[in-house]
Structure 1
């Protein structure tokens, strides 16, 4: 898998996306931990603000993905990457100020801008990869991208969650997000010389392009099937990741270190699953193992739900990480989360590779924009369904159990599609 790093353009591109993913999650997790443990006063308020934050980050994907896909296919991707990374510097200057002031309104606005920046970067990132890697290395490149992205998420999660709770932690986190954004911008100049723009015959439209783009994407049936499979993964993952802070604080009665622990487990699990599937598939992409991977995700989640319902420990105070891991339930719950994420990592890499290889190069950016559009729609839907679940009195473990059952039903889709 690591042999793709020998590709000259891949190395700086890998660094650019790694720093971007790290910075996004550094800021987002600092915001979530700040809200959960300092700025909110109840489970309902915490759940609402955390879910709102998740929705605000995703909303720009719904608004801007069609435009982002057209732009990705119309202009030189190296030039676009530099402009987007420059925008990140400006956004993180605002984000640093928001962290220092601990202003919920400014934090949420910055999160929306971060989502907009990511919405424009996404189609470029995954459509540029097949341009700089030979097809035989595409599985390994996607595995390294997926695995390293979640390692970046892990590092950003740990630093953001732990750092913001330190004395003057908001000042240090504000400075860090600015420095990382500047480093990413500087690294973008190592991607090579800017070439001529691609042949794009249609005029770029700010509005009214989503439905034609969706119809065009559906004409590439193999690639579009992959898009739907990827979107389901992000629906599943959005529910899990957005609710970990609430789960830890109000169901496990633990502290912010346990939140970071679970996010760490999820990130490492995705990275491990991505590496394993890349090794197993080598150069041949198929989805024959996906029913088993989906079943593994569901069984792991159901085991986690069962552990959550058991009494963790008799403690008069909030559990720290050491006390949590001292219990057998804490160990088993951690193992369940890790396995769920590992199955998820193995699930996602072949789908991304199939989506890229089955889409014609001139339309690749737009296909990825459609992927981002559907991903974000399902992630927003997940936020709405979570809020509805809380509104009708469902507990978080009950919501997670329903998710596990829904995930099992997706197996039928992959079994029906035997030609993949």
Structure 2
């Protein structure tokens, strides 16, 4: 099912439109207020500058004050009811805004802006915590991509419409007020159709002290190192994006020689690119939570950020170009290309991180972890504003700021990936598997979402663990022959994935015993373990007799057993059909069509070696 099909599902569509309309209204109101102050009231430039700089601070302040409280609300109470209260609050805020627009009362509009910050703060933890409740595991990446795409487009359209309506001669304030009130009412109407989303921690003791609760929320966010570093990655994305977007007006005017329409164009390119990248995540990840895309996204942000510097490092010799003239001018399509691809790789970067947090964090703590993420996002956004202003005061031009930020992105990415090697391991796995094979997975929903399980699969090539690793929805501990485990180029991947090396009894009985102990410890901890009961790679493409090790494992730790079969690997690269140096048949070896078939779990008391072997042979069929 395509991710766009979710828009036809009641469990997703009302929520999608509710959050998109809210993002639109935030953007439309903020930009209409700035246009009112800058162009409709005849204020001096210094006063306009004060309001335009104060506005972002007032909008972001509630994230520091109320995120921790919002996280508690989202876990203790039913989420849909909170969403409806939030949308009623938005309607009240927009009614106040209408009076502020009519009377040109900027102080009141700043109060409304703070209220909209509260609106976004309370909605934020619900926005991402409700998705795992509403979507199936294989829909999580696509759903996040749709939400990210919808948010980016809604913000962009809201900016354009908010600017345009306020500048309408004579009726700008009235048109802006009518729009924002109407959209708020539509958002509330959409929220009425969202299905119930039960509380995930109804017994939670509510803490009204924002300071102590903020400290507690940050502690919960920090508890799981992988989740916390994903949160840091998202916060860095906001830092990078804030620096980039904040420089675009000056960059448009001085370096591109464009007018306001060119500024709108470059923002559109970045937003559309992010939307495209977000949507592509589902296709590229095979509907799995694939954090291997995150290093790819980080690389793209740096590469095209650097190229943006070289594309136009000096001021433009012409000024006042409209967007059509800009596109016709020589060399500008390179800038279009860079800005769009920065957005695309931003989508690759941030969507898998959100999906990773949703899939990895405990369900009863997810809203508070998202709240902690929002607090850190707000902090990094403030740091980004200071960073950009500081570099400007030091005499750096906008292209130089782009270059410094792109290089800093590479440093931060290396730091995060060093702390959590799983990101790089998944990237290597994703690149190798998607380069060598075209994989179709069937039945992966049979693997239990929680608790211990033993996966049993035929063994065809040296790439089997990587291929399975790239296609299973849950991380698995692979039991593999110790000599394969120690292959120099792949040892990092296997160690990072916590694979378990094993040897035959005659080869090394100590390694064999250590493997059995490690398997039992993993199953006792509720992990998934995958074994290849043949004891080695097939030499003729047929499934070899299963060894009794699986029965020994189940005798110590009875857990569900999931039979699986790999099809189409015999004759592909790194199988033993023939030598790599003789009879090289590249069309068969590279981009081979491979299938993974997963059967329903068997109860441990039903399992024997003979039954498992027969079931795997049946799953494999004739398609070796």
- Report the Cα offset of residue 173 of structure 1: 1.8
* TM-score using structure 2 length: 0.63
CA contact (8 A) 1:273 1:342 kept: yes
Moved more, 117-126 or 388-397: 388-397
Task: Determine helix, strand or coil for the equivalent of 1:328.
Answer: coil
What's 1:177 paired with?
Answer: 180
Q: Which moved more, 1:210-219 or 1:57-66?
A: 210-219
User: Aligned with 1:190: secondary structure?
Assistant: coil
Structure 2 residue aligned with 1:200: 203
CA distance 1:102–1:128, change in 2 (3 Å):
same
1:299 deviates by 2.4
What is the 5 A alignment of 1:5-404? 5-34=7-36, 49-167=51-169, 168-192=171-195, 198-207=201-210, 208-315=212-319, 318-404=320-406
Q: CA RMSD in A?
A: 2.4
Range 22-31 or range 352-361, more displaced: 22-31
User: Contact (CA 8 Å) 1:142, 1:352: kept in 2 or not?
Assistant: yes
Q: CA deviation at 1:194?
A: 7.8
Preserved CA contact (<8 Å) 1:76 1:198: no
Closer, same or farther: CA 352–296 of 1 in aligned 2, 3 Å: same
How many residue pairs get matched? 417
* Higher strand proportion: 2
Q: Deviations over 1:99-155 (max 9, x none)?
A: 444454343332222111100000011111111111221111111111111121222
- Relative distance call for 1:99 and 1:253 in structure 2 (3 A) is farther
Verify the 8 A CA contact 1:143 1:349 in the aligned structure 2: yes
Residue 412 of structure 1, aligned match among 411, 414, 432: 414
Question: Secondary structure of 1:283's partner?
Answer: coil
What's the CA shift string for 1:341-374, capped at 9, x where partnerless?
1110111110000011111111111010001010
Shift of 1:159: 1.4
In structure 2, C-alpha distance between the alignment counterparts of 1:335 and 1:34, rounded to whole Å: 33
Change (3 A) 1:320 1:169: farther
Q: Give the Å deviation of 1:32.
A: 4.2
Task: Flag the 1:40–1:314 CA change in 2: closer, same or farther, 3 A.
Answer: farther
**CA distance, structure 2, for counterparts of residue 50 and residue 160 of structure 1:** 15
Structure having the higher helix fraction is 1
Equivalent position SS for 2:291: coil
- Once the two structures are superposed, residues 175-224 of structure 1 have per-residue CA deviations (whole angstroms, 9 ceiling, x without a partner) of 10111001111221112358678423323323211112211221122222
Show structure 1 runs of 5+ residues with no match: none
Change in CA separation of 1:16 and 1:40 when aligned onto 2, cut-off 3 Å? same
Which shifted more, 200-209 or 275-284? 200-209
Q: CA deviation at 1:35?
A: 5.2
Q: Is the 8 A contact 2:326 2:332 kept in 1?
A: yes
Once the two structures are TM-superposed, the CA of residue 391 in structure 1 deviates from its matched residue by: 3.4
8 A contact 1:25–1:153 mirrored in 2: yes
Query: Does the aligned pair in 1 maintain the 2:221–2:373 contact within 8 Å?
Result: no
Which protein, 1 or 2, shows the higher relative CO under an 8 Å CA cutoff with sep ≥ 6?
1
